[in-house]
Structure 1
Amino acid sequence: MEWLREHPEVRTIRVAASDLNGVARGKRIPARFADKIIVEGTKFPYSVMNLDIWGEDIEDSPLVFETGDPDGLLLPTERGFLPMPWLDAPTGLLPLWMFHPDGTPYDGDPRQALARVVDRYKTVGLTPVVATELEFFLIDDSGRQLRVPPSPRSGKRRTGGEVLSLRALDAFDQFFTSLYEASEAMDIPADTAISEAGPGQFEINLMHQADPLKAADDTWLFKMLVKGVARQYGFAASFMAKPYEAWSGNGMHMHFSILDEKGINIFDNGGEEGTDALRHAVAGCLRAMPGSTLIFAPHENSYDRLVPNAHAPTGIGWAYENRTAAIRIPSSGPKARRIEHRVAGGDVNPYLTISAILGAALNGIEDKLQPPEAFKGNAYDQQLDQLPGDWGAAIDTFDTCPEMRRIFSEHLVENFVMTKRQELKYMAELSDEETVELYLDTV
């Protein structure tokens, strides 16, 4: 309540949690009733946490008619209230996560899934340090064809990609200024922005932090923020994996290292190659990669991004300082030795993605798995095992993968599979234009 007292201009709040697709589900409440939410929480049906991408119930889900569609308890996360700078009226956002009425965590909540992985690390005295890099397109979606929006400065449209172009950044200077101001107000550690390979495509890095839950919160909130601020300027921002057929898609790369109880990076051996623990973590990520592809590529459009020679990995391999690899060990000072996981698209649920990567890495460390030799050269030219090549194969692989059941609860695995099978069925009825319209703002 302290935040609301400091912001008397806020007359309305939103309370929201992430469903399995990363979509915010919640309620609008007058600010004068906020104390009830803080003390008692609120209720959503359990089924709300695994609606399909259209926001529809999952057919034959045991969470719906079979059990009477009962309610779970939504309680505030440790984040507390945040402003929503993209709305016209001053508004507060209170992030929530789901519990059973007796106070035990609800296993179908993606944030609870990440908390479960973090608890595994705490049990063995380890702390992951996590950062994400988010790519997105700014898009004029007012007509039948998607286009780069005109620059608010010049009124001109740049039709090509401009990698690391200051001109491309400066063309949208007002938008980025507003975005960084809003990020600071929301305590989201937005760092460097660059222009990327696609027309109107940009990337913003979020800073490393030794709190995976906050890193995931920041990523989830940042996607919401970018979309909202873009609409203030009259265009869309999209994290859709592949909005343009002819251009590279959007990724969400994740960097992580792991600290021991003394705060020492267990990947650092003073040299470039890293420790045995680093190789064990890499091996765990590689072993889980086929099964976790559905987490990293959760939608039909996701598989348009995962094609050869399109700046997205297709083979299951690792390398040092090599951006064609699914797992890259970046050049850095020894203390910053870390793993970069490059498979996920921009359309992912950050909570599930960070859970899958950190869970797989810990599996590898606990089992002392050994990876194959790091390769050199172009990953697309290597004889590597391949990621599942389509959505249906990824669903089947996730469903039968033992590593996924080691990381996620059986309940979450079943819910996610039911959700994706329903989406697979009904997406077949949509045209390409309808598919783009569905995913552009949703993911």
Structure 2
Amino acid sequence: MTEFPDLPSEVRAFRQRYPEVRYVELICLDIPGHFYGKRYPIDMLEKVAAGGPLKLPQNCVLLGAQGGLHPIGDYCFHDGDPDAPRRLIPGTLKPVRWEKQLMGQMLISSDGTDAPIEFEPREVLARVMQRLHARGIRPVVAFELEFYLFDRALKDGLPQYPRDPLTGDADDQPNLHIERLTRYSEVLHAMVDTAREQGVDANVITAEIGPGQFEINFAHCDDGLRAADQAALFCRSTRGVAMQHGYRASFMSKPYLDAPGSGMHVHVSLYDAAGNNLLNDEGQQALRHAVAGCLELLPHLMPVFAPNHNAYRRYGSRVNAASRASWGFEDRDACIRIPDSDGRNLRIEHRLAGADANPYLVLAAILSGMEYGLDNKLQPIAPLNEDRQSGIDFATDMLSAVAAMESHAVVKEKLGAEFVFVLSENKRHDHLDFMNEVSAREYRWFL
């Protein structure tokens, strides 16, 4: 990512390179993982970059899964809907090529302002990162995201398999064959190229097992906030590029009941200021402590890892999505996999989150679990390599998951009590909205 000495120079350089750009979208991720923001004329962006005010309603962060506001405590309907300051995230001003007219976009956040929003996802992660940095711990992070391609048009509201660009047939034969990358190479390469232009260090492309399912990996990043920024921006650009090429891309956790779900896999290692891998300490006992902390907190963090009703359908499926909290060496059935590596690169791969989870919150939850395990020198349950039945139960429905999270003292300490309250209420109201419709199946069963 190009570094600039200050924000005004970044904006000036962008305008010189893209003189035809008239508007820039200033965007930020809400709790369910959707972008909100405003579209600014680019000359107004120069004023903001020079120190002008940038404010958006505080309650944008509280939007539900469908974009509506929920009555959460005194927020939204009893607080006057106040504005809150935001700041521009340096290095994130990039072109948007998937719109009909060339535009720009730039990330914004309340973290680092005079009045950060306690429950904003990026601020939640920023607090966790600050706590670790104060202790001399530097996380190195790499995201991997699975997604499906569908035909752009829905049929009776349901997704259709994507059409093979070479044959025109529906891609209904799930497999891992390299030829699938060849057939879809035009759209996949455009996704990677566009992501890189957004500052996302995307690299390896894999054809996954599901029909029209793929995975794209990112390089390891020594800035946790930037790693999560990249994951969020990748989802946005991938959807845009897919539409350009006649497809619909989705990070929905479980679009097909009879095919694998899509996961967000997060690789995390911890280093000290001298570059030593802390997980390798004490003959790798530190690794076991970190794993144990993640496993102990995992059942109380499910609303983060599985942010909607569909996400819970992924657990217990036959392909690489566990139904209990578990770990193992080189074991993809485990929630926490330890890839084979030397001591320098020792890391965990946290595989539980759905691909549509909020990357800031997922990373904050993982790091908090690792920190908790290291601080208390916890010992994990047996790995799956030793006992295939090893595991800790976790909730597989939204209301039970919220109940397990909202009263847990350690989770509130690590992520913030106000955030836990807001997230729990947000998910509870989403559940009520989701249930507020009589489905065709109900008529078939009960009419």
In the superposition, the TM-score normalised over structure 2's length comes to 0.91
2:384 to 375, 390, 394: 375
Cα distance in 2, alignment partners of residues 46 and 351 from structure 1: 18
Distance 2:59 2:283 in 1: 44
Residues 297 and 348, structure 1, Cα contact 8 Å, conserved in 2: yes
Q: Deviations over 1:70-112 (max 9, x none)?
A: 1101111133311112212111111000259x71322121101
1:433 is displaced (CA, Å) by 9.0
Is 1:360 aligned to 2:369, yes or no?
yes
Could you say if the C-alpha distance between residues 184 and 389 of structure 1 is closer, same or farther in structure 2, counting changes exceeding 3 Å? closer
Q: Give the Å deviation of 1:46.
A: 1.1
- Which one is further off, 2-11 or 173-182? 2-11
In structure 1, stretches of 5+ residues that fail to align are 435-443
The amino acid that maps onto 1:291 is H
Q: Is the 8 A contact 2:125 2:361 kept in 1?
A: yes
Aligned residues: 427
1:344 aligns to what? Answer: 353
Give SS of 1:279's match: helix
Separation in structure 1 between the aligned mates of residue 377 and residue 169 of structure 2, nearest angstrom? 55
Report how far residue 213 of structure 1 moved: 0.4
- Conserved? CA contact 2:384–2:390, under 8 Å: no
- Provide the rounded CA distance (Å) in 2 between the counterparts of 1:349 and 1:299: 11
Partner of 2:429: 422
Q: Residue 296 in 1 paired to residue 305 in 2?
A: yes
Query: Is the alpha carbon distance of 1:49 and 1:274 closer, same or farther for their aligned partners in structure 2, counting shifts above 3 Å?
Result: farther
Residues 309 and 432 of structure 1: is their aligned pair in 2 closer, same or farther, counting only changes over 3 Å? farther
TM-superposed CA distance for 1:243, in Å, is 0.6
The equivalent residue for 1:18 is 29
Q: Which structure 2 segments of 5+ residues have no match? A: 1-10, 442-447
**Paired residue for 1:231, among 238, 243, 266?**
243
- For 1:210-235, what per-residue CA distance to the aligned partner results, in whole angstroms no more than 9, with x for missing partners? 11001000000000011110011111
Percentage of matched positions with identical amino acids:
33
Deviations 1:161-212 (A, max 9, x none): 112x111111111101211221221121111111111100001111111110
Moved more, 388-397 or 52-61: 52-61
Post-superposition Cα deviations, 1:335-365, rounded to whole Å, max 9, x if no partner, equal 2111011110011000000000011101111
Residue identity matched to 2:85: L
**Paired position in structure 2 for 1:149:** 162
Contact 1:253 1:344 in 2 (8 A): yes
**Deviation at residue 3 of structure 1 after TM alignment:** 1.9
Displacement of 1:327: 0.8
**Contact 1:41/1:76 (<8 A) preserved:** no
Offset from partner CA, 1:233-270 (integer Å, 9 cap, x none) = 1111000011111111100011110111101111236x
State the match for 2:79 in structure 1: 67
- After the TM superposition, which of the residue ranges 25-34 and 52-61 deviates more from structure 2? 52-61
Cα 1:308–1:90 shift into 2, 3 Å? closer
> Once superposed, what is the RMSD of the aligned Cα atoms?
1.9
Q: How does 1:41-440 map to 2 (within 5 A)?
A: 41-98=53-110, 103-142=114-153, 143-144=155-156, 145-163=158-176, 165-268=177-280, 275-376=284-385, 379=388, 382-430=389-437
Tell me how far 1:26 sits from its aligned partner.
Answer: 0.5
Deviations 1:11-37 (A, max 9, x none): 111011111111101011111211122
Cα pair 1:63 1:70 within 8 Å, conserved: no
Cα separation, 2, equivalents of 1:75 and 1:374 = 44
Classify 1:8/1:432 alpha carbon distance in 2 versus 1 (closer, same or farther; 3 Å).
farther
Call closer, same or farther: CA 1:60–1:337 in 2, change over 3 Å: closer
Equivalent position amino acid for 1:161 in 2: P
Q: Is the CA contact 1:73–1:99 (under 8 Å) kept in the aligned structure 2?
A: no
Distance 1:388 1:209 in 2: 32
What secondary structure, in the 3-state scheme, does the structure 1 residue paired with 2:182 have? helix
Q: How far apart are the structure 1 equivalents of 2:405 and 2:299?
A: 7
